[in-house]
Amino acid sequence: MRSITLSQAVNEAIAEEMRRDETVFLIGEDVAEAGTPFKVTSGLVEEFGTDRVIDTPIAEPGFMGLAVGAAMTGARPIVDLMFGDFLFLVMDQLCNQAAKTHYMSGGKLNVPLVLRTNLGATRRSAAQHSQSLHALVAHIPGLKVAMPSSAYEAKGLMKTAIRDDNPVVIFEDKLMYQDKAEVPEEEFLIPFGEAKVLREGRDVTLIGTSSMRQVCEAAATMLEADGVSAEVIDPRTIAPLDEATILQSVKKTTRAIVVDEGHQNFGTTAEIAARISEKAFYHLDAPVIRMGAMDVPIPFSPALEDLTVPTPEQVAENARRIVAGELIHAL
């Protein structure tokens, strides 16, 4: 099978859906000729023209609001938000308008839009261009949240998002745009709410979102050398969350570590860990460990920034400790 980059995969998904459905359009800052800073949308304007690949002023709440209105009246906009950090700018339009319209109207109106943006630190971009804010939107009922962990997921999830009749936020890891993976030429979609078991194991379940999937896979390889058998699961969407697959795995292994790049406090790791503790409590032989980004603004200096994101070594070390039955306990 051919391998393509995550960036190409997203581009293909958007192009295919724009060909398939003329109500789909792309709107955002520098999405046309510039193709975004990460060059993800390059070439789309040549095929679809500036009527459907729309460059906007630097006005995130403005174009987010336009997309909500266009979606309410029959279009399927894909909003490009250049950095995930700019979510704070569009929160009213996304969370007060898009997320609630279907419910508040008693089902009369709906908002089929995709907000594609990114997450991830370690690009030396400092505190306002490095955040992973998916937990903020996953908290809001009415929004779906997808977190592709490879080019394959990026394409399949994007196509599903565009066809979804509800607002969907997709977070791509900006460090992964050039990472290649096998992606079939023929059309495929990845349903929301279906986690993927990437590796089966006996002793501990490692749950990793987005690029933390690779961190978990690397940790599992390290653990194998020590005779610890780790199962690795990628939830793929956190809203909806495939609870069944996660619980089934943890009931088997009796131990779990949740790894995610959002801040650990009140984050995605906390939510998943809580569900495990609540629904698989009597199967647990160790506390569920959360591993998120450190609870500090992401620092600029490489020497500091690298300390903020979970590494395979740290994941493996935590796995060894709970498999060995060490006391993880605040007395």
Residue linked to tokens 């395979």: 312
Q: Which is nearer to another protein, 72 or 215 (CB)?
A: 72
* Cα 301 from Cα 298, distance rounded (Å): 9
x/- letters, 174..193, toward another protein (CB under 8 A) = --------------------
Choosing from 37, 43, 49, 69, the residue that interacts with another protein (CB under 8 A) is: 69
Query: What residue type is assigned to position 253 of the chain?
Result: T
Q: Which is nearer to another protein, 165 or 295 (CB)?
A: 165
Residues 247/195, Cβ–Cβ less than 8 Å: no
Number of residues this chain uses to bind another protein (CB under 8 A):
57
* Cα 309 from Cα 180, distance rounded (Å): 22
Interacting span for another protein (CB under 8 A) from 4-12, 63-71, 176-184, 205-213: 63-71
248 binds another protein (CB under 8 A): no
Asked whether the bond before 299 is cis by omega within 30 degrees of 0, the reply is: no
Report strand pairing: 237-239 vs 256-263: unpaired
Choosing from 144, 159, 174, 290, the residue that interacts with another protein (CB under 8 A) is: 144
To the query of whether residue 17 is one of the catalytic residues in this protein, the response is: no
Give one word for 266, left, alpha or beta, with left for phi > 0 and alpha for psi -120 to 50.
left
| Residues 6 or more apart whose Cβ sits within 8 Å of residue 311 | 215
Q: DSSP alpha helices (H): ranges in the chain?
A: 6-20, 44-48, 60-72, 87-91, 99-104, 134-138, 151-163, 212-225, 243-253, 268-279, 302-305, 312-323
Choosing from 71, 119, 133, 219, the residue that interacts with another protein (CB under 8 A) is: 71
B/e letters for 151-185, b = 16+ CB within 10 Å, e = fewer, are: bbbbbbbbbbbbbbebbbbbbbbbbbbebbbebee
Residue 118 tokens, joined:
């990114």
Pick the catalytic residue from 12, 17, 29, 60.
Answer: 60
To the query of whether residue 60 is one of the catalytic residues in this protein, the response is: yes
x/- letters, 252..291, toward another protein (CB under 8 A) = --x--------------------------xxxxxx-----
Choosing from 141, 184, 297, 302, the residue that interacts with another protein (CB under 8 A) is: 141
Q: Which is nearer to another protein, 7 or 253 (CB)?
A: 253
x/- letters, 91..110, toward another protein (CB under 8 A) = -xx--xx---xxxxxxxxxx
Q: How far is the CB of 244 from another protein (least distance, A)?
A: 19
Binding site for another protein (CB under 8 A): 25, 51-52, 56-57, 59, 61-75, 77, 92-93, 96-97, 101-110, 112, 141-142, 144, 163-166, 202-203, 229, 254, 281-286, 325, 327, 329
Which of the residues are catalytic? 60, 129
